[in-house]
Amino acid sequence: MEGLEGFIMTGPAMCRKREITVYNHGTVELNLDQVVEETPLTLFLNHVELATMVCSPGGYQELGVGFLLSEGLIKQPDDIIKISCREETGLLWIETSLPVPQTGNFLRRHIASCCGKSRAGLYFINDARQLRPVDSQARFTAEHLLQTISLLEDRSGTFRLTGGVHSAALADASGLLSMYEDIGRHNAVDKVIGHAFINKICLNDKCLLLSGRVASEILIKAARANIPLILSRSAPTGLTIELAEELNITVVGFARGNKFNIYSHPERIII
């Protein structure tokens, strides 16, 4: 299986060496260790400050576009008029043909690396259940899913160096199409989805791969992008499974070695 032949991540270094003190069996020594970098990125939508996201360096345009898509603020590539980024100062401007929501939930939000939406729970669930189910006839073989999750693990180089990032990728029958690592799992997913959106890649026959937990916010990101299957090395939450059943998304977890668990819509997987 081929993987990432047409997509190579480039940009600022995601980690750098720092001097640390190591305690080991009663002895102390100085050592150099790779430590992940993090940076704030402030997103302006139609010249209105929308959100500041704490993320790994690089992939800023993809992150911004994926974030807007995940929040339902854009729906198709033609909604975007212009994107400009000043990487050295962490500022990103996106102009769209759609208005900026004038609510406290959106304006001037700060999103930490570990967080997804900042809405109240009931409002979030009601919002999620207004989404349309994913429209897809795609099916995936068990062998293919295990091969692609193995590729994700093999290519997670920053994680192996630092242990401080999450990985997300898109795959189809040919292998991995794009992949990002980020200190925030939501950021990694937004970068992957944003990359596809910018490049007008149809997603209704793709699967979203994750290194970590499948949270309900990530399930909703997949639904908005019309992705029919989420494949993870870790577990989904109960709410994720409930929403996946409603939104026609197959959730596969604990995909490791030769095994995985199917939590919703097993009919999409060819055993």
pLDDT at 265 over 80: yes
Alpha helix (H) residue ranges in 155-215: 157-162, 185-198
Higher-scoring residue by pLDDT: 149, 103: 149
pLDDT at 162 over 90: no
Q: Which two tokens stand for residue 162?
A: 């630092």
Higher-scoring residue by pLDDT: 141, 162: 141
pLDDT at 119 over 90: no
pLDDT band at 215 (very low <50, low <70, confident <90, very high): very high
Query: Cα separation of 180 and 231, whole Å?
Result: 15
Please tell me the predicted confidence (pLDDT) of residue 100.
79
Question: How much is the CA Rg of the chain, to the nearest whole Å?
Answer: 19
Which domains can be identified in the chain, with CATH numbers? 140-270 (3.40.140.10)
pTM: 0.88
Query: Cα separation of 266 and 224, whole Å?
Result: 21
Higher-scoring residue by pLDDT: 163, 148: 148
pLDDT band at 2 (very low <50, low <70, confident <90, very high): very low
Higher-scoring residue by pLDDT: 82, 100: 82
Please tell me the predicted confidence (pLDDT) of residue 112.
62
The predicted-structure confidence for 137-153, as pLDDT tens digits, reads as follows 999 999 999 999 999 98
pLDDT at 154 over 80: yes
pLDDT band at 173 (very low <50, low <70, confident <90, very high): confident
Please tell me the predicted confidence (pLDDT) of residue 10.
47
3-state secondary structure of 199: coil
pLDDT band at 8 (very low <50, low <70, confident <90, very high): very low
Please tell me the predicted confidence (pLDDT) of residue 98.
87
Q: In what order do the strands lie in the sheet with 80-86?
A: 80-86, 91-96, 39-45, 48-55, 109-111
| pLDDT-above-90 percentage for the chain | 75
Query: Cα separation of 212 and 263, whole Å?
Result: 16
Q: Which residues are catalytic?
A: 115
